[in-house]
Chains A and B, each alone.
Chain A
Amino acid sequence: MTVAERLELDDMQGLILRGYRDLPAACFVLLAVKDAAAARGWLAGLVPQLTSAGTRPAGSAINLAVTMPGLRALGLPSEVAHTFPLELREGMVTEHRGRVLGDVGESAPEHWLFGGPATPQPHLLLLLYAKDEAGLARLLDAHANAPGVTELHRLPSTDIGEREHFGFRDGISQPRLAGIGGTGVGDDQAVSAGELVLGYRDEYGLYAARPLVPARLDPDAVLADDVEGSGERDLGRNGSYLVLRQLEQDVPGFWQFVDAAAGEDRTALAAKMVGRWPSGAPLVLSPDADDPGMDRARLNAFRYHDQDPQGLRCPVAAHVRRTNPRESLDPDPGSDASLAVGKHHRLLRRGRSYGPRLPIEQALHDGHDGRSRGLYFVCLNTNLARQFEFVQQTWVNSPKFAGLYDEPDPIVAPGGSFSMPAVPVRRRVTGVPRFVTVRGGGYFLLPGVRALRWLASAGVAEMPNTSSPVGS
């Protein structure tokens, strides 16, 4: 059940509340801690400069996330490290998680540019946003070469507008925090804060697993008390778990495939695969042609079972229908119960595109230009197993989604068939290849501001076993 709570916005990093759309220049920087004490000193200076959710950023924004190895490198005591959920402690790269996330074959971590076994382990993720490239350059100068840390890898984004590289408007459907910006609890897209922010009640009315610190390790009471009353201090509160994936998009491969399969109707086929037209108009509301003038409020104002139970408009296998099935799944498609179950699996997306835009005409005729392009996928959630991993495994990658047989996500999963229900007979496209390849990734904690202050504090350094490689 969705509940609205008062949120401590000043203690939350701004990314939870904002995608910083008005700061189109962005770069993500992966850092490694070289000297724990120096890095903590740098962190202590950085924390006041971080952009919180409490104030709208003017001109630039800085946020910071940290991996489990990063926390250990900063000196996190092992007894605190053990309180993190398993997904974070194991990280994105395990043999089993490869099957869950579909990181196999060309997407396997051994080929990754970062976060895989072939490259150094990232510790910190600096997320920098500015109004323009000059402003971004200033941010990079100021923060990327800091004492105690070294830069491992830079993920520079490209402002290609609202449409992602395949040419479709992205980021339309997002879960909204109940109680923020007039979002009522009865809204289809509203979720309890605890689904996206740690330390608040989630849709079950419970508090997601999060790191806790014994009170003796926080003598200055920097951290908030555990809201569940354990007597420990909450290192997770106002934070979130951040997923980063570099998803390389094969734009010529995509457009040439739909062209070969549908000829003149290539855009219609592509729209069927996505579930929206290039303008973002949903197929459920505009089944036969794009409707670029559609009112923004309508773009997300639809349900599947109610308006299109058989998928005659938006195929069941389409990308947006399976990444957010709304009220269309069991226990009782079309019901509030199904909508409520769906709310346990929402993700807040904060990605940015990278690489130069390749116009569709050029993709069709000239093919590959040798440039890498795609999406730095970023999402936030509080239960990686139930949210990000569930969506990836059970909805996106599963060829069996919602009763299908052999139809994984036609856009982002590694290939299968794709059918479009029609009367009297469905159309089926077989041999859909892989259009998206994973090139890197990792699981991070996007800590609250107080949590970062505690991590930067000398208190952490004085703890025993600061450099013990626990769990490795």
Chain B
Amino acid sequence: MPYQQALTVVAPLRDGERAALDADLAAAAAGRNGTAVPFAELTGVHFARLFVLDAATAADGTRTPEQLVWMSDVDAPLERHREQLAERAGPALDPLFRHCQGYPEQPDDAGRRAYLDSHTVHEATFYVNTIGRGLDQVLLEQRLRDALERYLDEHRDQLAGLDSAEVRERLRRFVADQPQLQVALEPPQPPGIWFRARETLHMVLAPLLLVLLLPLILIGLPIFALLLRLHERRDVPDERPPDDRHAEQLAALEDHSIQNPFIAAGSVKPGRFRLLTATVVLWIAGYFTRHVFNRADLAGVKTIHFARWVFLDGHRRVVFASNYDGSVESYMDDFIDKVWWGLNAVFSNGVGYPRTRWLIFGGARDERVFKHVLRRRQQPVQVWYSAYPDLTARNLRNNQQLRAGLAGGMNDRQASDWLARL
């Protein structure tokens, strides 16, 4: 079974092409679920999006033009995804990427492929709700859940008097009789041996490296703390609310289904210290998303399907992108109430963020300023695709555990808890 990967393609626009590109993106977005781009024909795409990143002047004065960005959360191998992007989606992508610098005039598969490859940016950190749960598994488990619910509706009277273990047995037999569902009786294939070996190695080696470097870290830490406090005292939070037009633009694209895409871009504070801090924090965050928060629960937040941080413009800017359940208000509240420490450690290295203390305290807990900053940094996602727009991450988790509970033996109590998933 596959594991999931992120693809980010960033292409600078040619001068004066913004308006035309916006119009073409709007056309591509007709119907909201990206009908013009054949997302569903690309194997294993969970989520995908196309949007224009506004031009920016970094803290050091460097100007970056507007950029067209493609992002997808997709089952491995990325190689296949890139190939299909060039071949199957090419004709739909050409009218968009033709507004970008250096895109081939007469694009063929090879030309597109070369362009995508040369404009791919590797993410700094990737969060996956549940590592190793491929698209096929998601869809199978939802079909399973639907079938079981229907079975219960149709057979409730026959089942009502039975004990839980017996009901579970009937459901297992029902599944065994369904040719399209039988496969759910077996646990899903884990990701391949090479992937698992690599992850295990990373999980062990990274802390080992830290232990080896411990003397250096111990010496460096007080210096870091001192510098950090000096920088934090100089920080200037940007308390302005987003302007009304920007807020309206964002709202117009939000809440069309129970999922929403989020994208925010911000400049890294000037100087090497903040860039170094952001880099190290994102590296640590990456360790935790790979090895700790990889089972549907990001420290109490269970609504994020995928998220990534990407350095852009020669590490002058960071883009944060995610696909989440519910409203942006509840999303921001989750940030403030549940994972403020993590948000602060990363985002406080960005210009204008509410003032932090010791990197993780304060910051996001300043609700009003934090929401203003996030909303101001947020960018509209013009084209967005979800392979399962009606399912929350919690639904996916429940489906997965439903399927897992078909295998093996259970006593009555365990069967009762399992049946509570339906």
Q: Report A-chain residues with C-beta under 8 Å of the C-beta of B336.
A: 204
Segment 251-268 of B: residues with Cβ below 8 Å from A: 251-252, 254-256, 258
Instruction: Please determine whether B164 and A428 come into contact, CB atoms closer than 8 angstroms.
Output: no
Q: Name the B residues within 8 Å of A331 (CB-CB).
A: 299-301, 337-338
**Nearest-neighbor residue (CB-CB) of B303 within chain A:** A330
Whether A206 contacts B368 in the complex (CB less than 8 A), given A86-B247, A425-B159, comes out as: yes
Report the bound CA distance from A421 to B422 in whole Å. Answer: 9
Nearest B-chain residue to A341, judged by Cβ: B337
Question: Is the pair A424, B395 in contact by a Cβ cutoff of 8 Å?
Answer: no
Q: Say yes or no: is B185 at the interface (Cβ < 8 Å to chain A).
A: no
Neighbour of B167 across the interface among A94, A206, A400, A425, CB < 8 A: A425
In the complex, A35 has a CB within 8 A of chain B: no
Q: Out of A99, A385, A471, which one reaches B255, CB within 8 Å? A: A99
Q: Please, which residues of chain B bring their CB within 8 A of the CB of A94?
A: 251
Chain A residues, CB < 8 A from B301: 330-331
Tell which of B45-53, B82-90, B129-137, B322-330 binds the partner: B322-330
- Report B-chain residues with C-beta under 8 Å of the C-beta of A386: 329, 333, 367
Are A394 and B326 also in contact (CB < 8 A) when A86-B241, A399-B258 are? yes
Known: A96-B254, A204-B365, A471-B244. A425 touches B422 (CB 8 A): yes
Q: How far is the CB of B168 from chain A (nearest CB, A)?
A: 8
A350 to chain B, nearest CB (A): 23
A428 to chain B, nearest CB (A): 6
- B251 x A310 contact (CB < 8 A): no
Q: If the complex has contacts A331-B338, A400-B395, are A425 and B327 also in contact, measured as CB distance less than 8 A?
A: no
Taking CB as reference atom, which chain A residue is nearest B168? Answer: A424
User: A-facing mask of B165-177, CB < 8 A → 1, else 0?
Assistant: 0110000000000
Interface presence of B294 (CB below 8 A): no
Contact status A425-B156, CB under 8 Å: yes
Contact of B162 among A86, A398, A424, A427 (CB under 8 A): A424
Set of chain A residues within 8 Å of B302, measured between Cβ atoms: 330
Nearest CB of B to A136, in Å: 38
- The 8 A CB mask of A412-447 against B (1 = contact, 0 = none) is 000000000101111110100000000000000000
Residues facing A in B122-168 (CB within 8 A) are 149, 152-153, 156, 159-160, 162-164, 166-167
Tell me whether B43 is interfacial, beta carbon within 8 Å: no
Q: Report chain B residues within 8 Å CB of A430.
A: 153
**C-alpha spacing A341/B367, complex, angstroms:** 13
Centre residue among B167, B244, B251, B301 by max chain A CB count within 10 A: B251
Q: Tell whether A246 is near chain B: CB-to-CB under 8 Å.
A: no
Is A332 an interface residue, CB under 8 A from the partner?
yes
Judge if B64 is at the interface, Cβ distance under 8 Å: no
Nearest CB of B to A469, in Å = 15
The verdict on A95 contacting chain B, using a C-beta distance below 8 Å, is yes
Contact A426 B422 (CB under 8 A): yes
Residues of A within 8 A of B330 (CB): 390, 393-394
**Measured between C-beta atoms, what is the minimum distance from B332 to chain A in Å?**
9
**Chain B: CB-nearest residue to A399:** B258
A209 within 8 A of B: yes
User: Is A46 at the interface (CB under 8 A from chain B)?
Assistant: no
* CB–CB A209/B368 < 8 A: yes
Tell me whether B277 is interfacial, beta carbon within 8 Å.
no
Chain A residues with CB under 8 A of B248: 96
Q: Which of A78-116 contact B (CB under 8 A)?
A: 86, 89, 94-96, 99-100
The residues of A that contact B368 with a CB separation of less than 8 Å are: 206, 208-209
Contact residue among B152, B258, B337, B394 (Cβ-Cβ distance under 8 Å from A425) = B152
Q: Contact: A428 with B153, CB < 8 Å?
A: yes
**When chains A and B are docked, how far (Å) is the Cα of A471 from the Cα of B368?**
22
B164, A398: Cβ atoms closer than 8 Å: no
Interface size class of B (residues with CB under 8 A): 35 or more
A390 touches B333 (CB 8 A): yes
Given that A96-B254, A344-B333 are known contacts, is A393 also in contact with B247, CB under 8 Å in the complex?
Answer: no
What 0/1 readout, one digit per residue, does chain B (381-422) give for beta carbons within 8 Å of chain A?
Answer: 000000000001011001000000000000000011001101
CB distance from A414 to the nearest CB of B (A): 15
Residue A389 is within 8 A (CB to CB) of chain B in the complex: yes
Q: For residue A406, which residue of chain B has the nearest CB?
A: B390
User: Given the complex, which residues of A lie within 8 Å of B398, measured CB to CB?
Assistant: 403
Asked, given contacts A330-B338, A393-B327, A400-B395, whether A421 binds B420 with beta carbons under 8 Å apart, the answer is: yes
Contact A425 B333 (CB under 8 A): no
Residues of A within 8 A of B327 (CB): 100, 390, 393-394
Residue of A at shortest CB range from B419?
A424
Min CB–CB distance A100 → chain B (angstroms): 6
What separation, in Å, do the CA atoms of A204 and B368 have in the docked complex? 10
CA A426 to CA B421, docked complex, whole Å: 9
Q: Counting CB contacts under 8 A, is B108 at the interface?
A: no
Q: Which of A209, A340, A398 contacts B258 (CB 8 A)?
A: A398
Interfacial chain B residues near A208, Cβ < 8 Å? 368
B416 CB, nearest partner CB in chain A, Å: 6
Chain B CB within 10 A, most for which of A389, A394, A400: A400
- B416 and A423 within 8 A (CB): yes
* Nearest CB on B from A207, distance (A): 8
Q: Are A425 and B419 in contact (CB under 8 A)?
A: yes
**Please, which residues of chain A bring their CB within 8 A of the CB of B419?**
423-426
Bound complex: CA A421 to CA B368 (Å):
39
Q: How far, in Å, is A109 (CB) from chain B's closest CB?
A: 16
Q: Across the interface, do A206 and B338 meet the contact criterion of CB distance under 8 Å?
A: no
B394 is contacted by which of A389, A390, A403, A423 (Cβ under 8 Å)?
Answer: A403
Closest chain A CB from B408 CB (angstroms): 18
Tell whether B366 is near chain A: CB-to-CB under 8 Å.
yes
- Shortest distance in angstroms between A368's beta carbon and chain B's nearest beta carbon? 30
* B329 surroundings in chain A (CB, below 8 A): 385-386, 389-390, 393-394
- B residues with a Cβ closer than 8 A to A are 149, 152-153, 156, 159-160, 162-164, 166-167, 241, 244, 247-248, 251-252, 254-256, 258, 299-302, 325-327, 329-330, 333, 336-338, 365-368, 392, 394-395, 398, 415-416, 419-420, 422
Add 15 more A-B contacts to A99-B256, A426-B419 (CB < 8 A).
Answer: A96-B252, A100-B327, A330-B301, A340-B337, A341-B338, A393-B329, A394-B327, A400-B394, A403-B395, A424-B416, A424-B419, A426-B422, A427-B156, A428-B149, A430-B153
What are 27 inter-chain pairs, A to B, with CB distance below 8 A?
Answer: A86-B244, A89-B244, A96-B254, A99-B255, A99-B256, A100-B327, A204-B336, A204-B367, A206-B366, A206-B367, A206-B368, A310-B420, A330-B302, A330-B338, A331-B301, A386-B333, A390-B330, A393-B329, A399-B258, A400-B326, A400-B394, A403-B392, A424-B167, A425-B419, A426-B420, A427-B156, A428-B153
9 closest A-B pairs by CB: A331-B300, A96-B251, A424-B164, A403-B394, A424-B167, A394-B330, A99-B255, A400-B392, A331-B338
Binding site for B on A (CB under 8 A): 86, 89, 94-96, 99-100, 204, 206, 208-209, 310, 330-332, 340-341, 344, 385-386, 389-390, 393-394, 398-400, 403, 405, 421, 423-428, 430, 471
